[in-house]
Amino acid sequence: ETGVTQSPTHLIKTRGQQVTLRCSSQSGHNTVSWYQQALGQGPQFIFQYYREEENGRGNFPPRFSGLQFPNYSSELNVNALELDDSALYLCASSSPIGQDYGYTFGSGTRLTVV
């Protein structure tokens, strides 16, 4: 079975621009979560999608938005990029939804905002 695939692996954007990060979930997984991990810190939960609907959100502003597609792949969009948005963005998938199942994480997208 394939794991979680994220693209691109690295990205450099200018402050004020918009960015779209992509995630293909593990085969058979219908739940996708996104995390932001600053250098030296643990991952911070952004939001989760289940059956194409957002069903949970962390403490991130509305300029962080997402989508989940019928094939369970997902996108994370960030508008009006700020320097503090520079981080590793992680996607994780699981199935079925619930606390008795582990997540499979991708290797992340390293975003640098200059």
Partner 1 sequence: DAKTTQPNSMESNEEEPVHLPCNHSTISGTDYIHWYRQLPSQGPEYVIHGLTSNVNNRMASLAIAEDRKSSTLILHRATLRDAAVYYCILRGPLSTGGFKTIFGAGTRLFVKA
Q: Interface residues with partner 1 (CB under 8 A)? A: 4, 33, 35, 41-45, 48, 55-56, 58, 90, 92, 97-100, 102-108
Provide the minimum distance between the beta carbon of 43 and partner 1 in the complex, in angstroms, as a whole number. Answer: 5
Residue type, 57: R
Find the farthest-apart pair of alpha carbons in the chain and give their distance in angstroms, rounded.
40
Q: Is 7 left (phi over 0), alpha (psi -120 to 50) or beta?
A: beta
Q: CA–CA separation, 30 vs 3, rounded Å?
A: 13
81 vs 92, beta carbon nearer partner 1: 92
18 vs 52, beta carbon nearer partner 1: 52
Provide the minimum distance between the beta carbon of 32 and partner 1 in the complex, in angstroms, as a whole number. Answer: 11
Indicate the DSSP class of residue 85: G
Provide the minimum distance between the beta carbon of 71 and partner 1 in the complex, in angstroms, as a whole number. Answer: 21
Cβ atoms of 89 and 7 within 8 Å: the answer is no
24 vs 48, beta carbon nearer partner 1: 48
